[in-house]
Amino acid sequence: MVNSVKRSCPVKTTCPYCGVGCGVLATVTDNGSVDIKGDPDHPSNYGRLCSKGSALGETIDLTGRMLEPQIHGRSATWDSALDLVAEKFKDTIAKHGPDSVAFYISGQLLTEDYYVANKLMKGFIGSGNIDTNSRLCMASSVAGQHRAFGSDTVPGTYEDMELADLIVLVGSNLAWCHPVLYQRIEAAKAKRPEMKVVLIDPRRTMTSDIADLHLPLKADGDVALFQGLLSYLAENNALNNQYINSHTNGFKEALGAAGKLTAADISSITGLSNSELRDFYDLVAKTEKTVTVYSQGVNQSSIGTDKVGAIINCHLATGRIGQPGMGPFSVTGQPNAMGGREVGGLANMLACHMDIENVKHRNLVQEFWQSPTMAVKPGLKAVDMFNAVANGDIKAIWIMGTNPVDSLPHADYVKSALIKCPFVVVSDIMETTDTTDLAQVKLPSLGWGEKDGMVTNSERRISRQRAFLPAPGAARADWWQLAEVGRRMGYEQGMTYEDNSAIIREYAELSGFENKGSRDFDISALATISAESYAQLAPFQWPQKNGDAIAEIRFFADGNFYTPDKKAVFQAQSERPKESRSFDLPFTLNTGRIRDQWHTMTRTGKSPRLGQHLAEPFVEIHPQDAKDLGIEPATLVEVYNNFGSIIVRALITDRIQQKSVFVSMHWTDQFASSARVDTLVDAITDPYSGQPAFKASACSLRPFKANLFGFLVSQKKPKNLESEYWALARCEAGWRVELGLKETPPNLSEFAAELLGTNQFIDYLDAGTGERRFATFDNGALSAVLHLSPTPVLLSRNWIVSELGRPVANKMQRYRLIAGRPANDVPDIGAIICSCHSIGRNQIVSAMMEKGCNTVKDIGICTKAGSNCGSCKSEINQILSSRLMEAAE
Ligand code: SF4
C-alpha cells in the first residue's frame, strides 16, 4: 500500500528500467494500489510493456524505504545531514585538492539530477571525478561512436528495426533485456516473413526464437567477425564507394588491417565454421536495409570500443547509415543512460556532448555557467575511481542511486575500499542495500512514481517521468540534495533553482550556446519552456533546435559528421583479441540479466510475480561439463576463482557452450547467502572507454557438497537463515527460501523452530526418503511449510506457494500440504513461464497435448500465457518447438 491517495486520472510517465524507455500510464486507484498500462501514444512502445514494466505497480510500496536522512545510522534532519556533507567535502578539498572527492552516480537518475551533479563537480568543485554506473553498460559505444563520428550520436530510430530487411543482433539478448524492442521486431517479422534476423551470441538465448541464423561466437570474436565481413564486402562488390570517398577517411587502412586475417584465422578466433561465416557475410552483402543492433555483449569487453568500431566500419563502407532501415544501433541498458551521456555524467565528457579535453568547450561551458573553475582533465572512470578510494587518493565519495558493492567488478575489493574510505554518502530510495550499509550519511531519495523530470532512451527520445505519488517521509529529489550541498559549499549563484523546469531551461540554453550546428546535441527549443509547458511536454527526439519545427531526424545519411573535416573515421583494428584475463582457469564466466529482474533487485525483488520466474541464483552449465565435473541437475555448485567463490543452483543446458558458464548479475547479499557474481569478475577494462569486461572472466566450478537441502515458504520474512546456501524470493503471500547446508544440524526440530520462528509446528518424517517436513498454521490457515531433505527437495513448489495463507479444510489437506503433494485434481503447474498470469510450464505442455495448441497464439487463447506483456512468448515458443521435435522423433 502506498500513502493515502485519491483516485487519479492516468499519468503519462516512463518506465524506469531499461533503455527502451517505454511510455507508461499509471493510475492510482481507490485502494491506493497503482494500475499500470503501456501508453498507446508513446512512440517507443505504442502501448506495449514487458513483464518488468507490467509489474511496476508491485514495486512501489514503502516497505524497506529510506524515509529520513541518517548520520551514522541515526535519524537526522536534512539541515544537519546536508551541512555535514558540505563541510566534509569542503574540508577534504581544502586539505587535499578537488581530485580527493568524487561522485559516483547512476543511469537511474533523471536528467535534472545528472545536470546538477555534473555542474557541481566539474564547474564548481573543479574536478572531473564524476562517473556513472552507465560506464558499466555502454561506455564502449560512446567511445566507439566518438572515434568514428566525432560525436556520441546514435544515428537511427527504433522504426529502423521495423523497416530493415536484415537485423543483426550482436551480443544482445533483446528478448529478455530489451523486450519491447524484441516484440517490435517480432511483429515486423510476422508481417514481413522475408525479413531476416541473425543472432550473434555465444549463448543460444531466448532471442534465438526469432533468429533465422544463430552464430555461436566465441567470447570476444566480434572484431575478427566484422573484419572478415569488411573484407568480404570489398571482395564481393558490396561497397558504397561514393559514400566512402565523399564522407569518410581511413578506409584503405581499415581494409588493410582486416585483410591481414585469413579465413582460417577468422574461423579460429570466432569459433564459427566457414559455411556459417559465408552464410552471414552473404546475407549482409546482399541486403541493403541492414540494422546492426548491439549491446552489452559488445560493450562489456576489454576490446569493446574496437568491436563497436568494427561494426561501424561495415556500415560506413556500405553507406548503410542514417537512412530508413539502415544503421548501427547501440541499445543502452538503463532508462537514462543516454541522458547521462548528454549531460556529461561520464568522467571524460562535459555537458551537452562537449569534450573536457577541448579547451574551447571548457571555456564555453565555464563562461555559460559563470563558474569559478572548470575541470581541466577527465576524471577517474568507475573502476579507477574505486581504486583511488582504495588507495586513499579519494577521501570523500557521494554515491547516488546505485549499488557498486554489488555491481562493479572485483566487488569485494570495492566493498573493502568503501569500508576504509573516510567519508561515504549514499543517496538511495532503500534503507538497506549492500552499499547503504557502508555509508556514514544516508540521504533518502524519491523513487519512481514520486520523482519528476526527463529521461532519454536509446533512440534519442526524450520523455518525461512524472510524479503520481506524494513524496514519502522526508525523501527529496536528488537534484535538490546536490544543489543544497552546493549552496552550503558556497556556490549560491550556480546552484539555485526554483524547480526542475529551471534546470532544463538552463541545460537547453547551454545546448544551443554558440552551437550553430557544430555539435549534434541541441535541445535549445526548450530554453524558454515554462513550468506548465514542461509539465505537459510530449516525447520528442533530439536534436530540437530553437525555431525548428518538430521533426524526427536520422544522422549521417549525407555525411556531415562531427569531426573537423566532417568525415567519419574508419578504425583500423588490431586483428586479434587482446588478453583479457589476469589469471587462467578452465571456464569463461559470462554475466548478464534475466527476464524478470532488474539490476540488484532493490525494486523488482519486491514483486511476487517477478520473483517466480527464476527464484534463485543459478549457473548455466553445458551438459558435458556438468558430467565431467559430477554436477547433477538442480544440485548446488561453487563457482570460484582467485577473487573468491559463490554458491548457485546448477542449470544444465546446451544453450551454453562447453567451457563457458553464465551467471546472472542480480543477486545480492539481501537475497542470497553468496551469489554476488561481480565478486568474481576481473576489473579489466577497455583501454579507450574504461568499461569493464563483465563477460569473460576466468573461473572454475565444483559441486557444492550439501548434506541437507531445504525449501521453506513462510508468510513472515524468515530470519536466522544460517546455512551456507540460501536464496530468498517474494511470493504472493510471503516468502520462499531455498536452503543448502554442508552439515546436517544435530537437532532438526530445533533448526526448524529457528527458521519458522516458533516451536508450534506439525512434524513429519518420510521414512522412505529421509525427508523431514514441518508446517505451521495460523487460525486454520497455512502460515509456513519447511521441507528438509538429504537430496535436493522435489515437490510442487508453485502449488505449496499458492497454498500459503489459505484455510486448510480438513486433515487430508493438512496431510497433503506436509507431504508436498497436491490432490489428483490439483495439477502441478510447473515452473512459472508467464509471470503476468502465473502460468507454469506444465500447463503449457498440457494445452499442447490435450487441446492441440501448436502456436503461441493458441497457447495464449487457451491458457492466457503470453497474452499480456508478451515477454514469455519466446519461452513458450521454445517449449512448443522442443515438444514438437520430441513428438516427431
Ligand atoms: Fe520497461 Fe520493459 Fe519497456 Fe524496458 S522494455 S522500458 S523494462 S517496459
**pLDDT, position 674:** 93
In ligand 1, the atom with minimum distance to the C-alpha of 51 is 2
42 lines ligand 1 (CB under 6 A): no
Q: What is the mean pLDDT of residues 640-658?
A: 95
Contact residues for 321 (Cβ-Cβ < 8 A; gap 6+)? 155, 156, 315, 327, 328, 556, 557
Question: Looking at 141-150, 305-314, 472-481, 826-835, which range is the least confident one?
Answer: 826-835
- Please name the helix (run of DSSP H) or strand (run of DSSP E) that holds residue 315, with its range, or none: helix 304-318
pLDDT band of residue 825 (cuts 50, 70, 90) is: low
Query: pTM of this prediction?
Result: 0.93
What pLDDT is stored for residue 134 in this prediction? Answer: 92
Three-state DSSP string of 227-266 = HHHHHHHHHCCCCCHHHHHHHEECHHHHHHHHHCCCHHHH
Average of per-residue pLDDT values in the chain? 93
Cβ(441) – ligand 1 distance below 6 Å:
no
Mutate to test the pocket of ligand 1, among 39, 52, 54, 458 (most ligand atoms within 8 A of CB): 52
CATH 3.40.20.10 assigned to domain 139-330? The reply is: no
Output the CATH code of domain 832-888.
Answer: 1.10.10.1100
Best mutation site among 17, 158, 174, 604 for ligand 1 pocket (most ligand atoms within 8 Å of CB):
17
Per-residue pLDDT averaged across 820-832, rounded?
71
Beta bridge partners of 740: 709, 725
Looking at residue 827, its pLDDT comes to 64
Name which residue sits closest to atom 4 of ligand 1, judged by CA. 18
Q: Which residues pair with 444 in a beta bridge?
A: 428
- 250: Cβ below 6 Å to ligand 1? no
Contacts of 421 (CB under 8 A, 6+ apart): 389, 394, 395, 396, 397
Ligand 1 mutation pick, 50, 593, 595, max ligand atoms within 8 A of CB = 50
Higher-pLDDT residue of 523, 798: 523
Measured in Å, residue 186 CA sits from the centre of ligand 1 at 16
Q: pLDDT-based confidence at 139, cuts 50/70/90?
A: very high
**Pocket of ligand 1 contains residue 53 by CB under 6 Å:** yes
Nearest-CA residue for atom 3 of ligand 1: 22
- Per domain, the residue ranges of the chain are 73-135+339-541, 139-330, 587-703, 708-819, 832-888
Q: For a substitution probing ligand 1, which of 13, 14, 20, 173 has the most ligand atoms within 8 Å of its CB?
A: 20
Task: Tell me phi and psi for residue 48, to 5 degrees.
Answer: -75, 155
Q: Ligand 1 pocket, 49 CB below 6 A?
A: yes
Instruction: Kindly state the average pLDDT of the residues 841-863.
Output: 84
- For residue 643, the tally of other CB atoms under 10 A from its CB is 20
| Residue 687 grid cell | 583501454
Tell whether ligand 1 has an atom less than 6 A from the beta carbon of residue 774.
no
Ligand 1 centroid – CA 217 distance (Å): 27
Task: Provide the grid cell at 459.
Answer: 533512440
Q: Ligand 1 in contact with 52 (CB < 6 A)? A: yes
Indicate whether residue 462 lines ligand 1 (CB < 6 A).
Answer: no
**CB of 815 closer than 8 Å to CB of 821:** no
User: Is residue 426 predicted with pLDDT exceeding 90?
Assistant: yes
| Interval 676-695: pLDDT, tens | 999 999 999 999 999 999 99
Would the CB of 180 count as within 6 Å of ligand 1? yes
310 lines ligand 1 (CB under 6 A): no
pLDDT of res. 146: 96
Q: Tens digit of pLDDT for each residue in 251-309?
A: 999 999 999 999 999 999 999 999 999 999 999 999 999 999 999 999 999 999 999 99
| Sign of CA pseudo-dihedral 560, 561, 564, 565 | negative
Fold entry, domain 73-135+339-541: Rossmann fold (3.40.50)
Atom of ligand 1 nearest to the CA of 38: 8
Asked whether the bond before 543 is cis by omega within 30 degrees of 0, the reply is yes
**Topology of the domain covering 587-703:** Barwin-like endoglucanases (2.40.40)
Cα-flanking dihedrals φ and ψ of residue 612, to 5°?
A: -90, -20
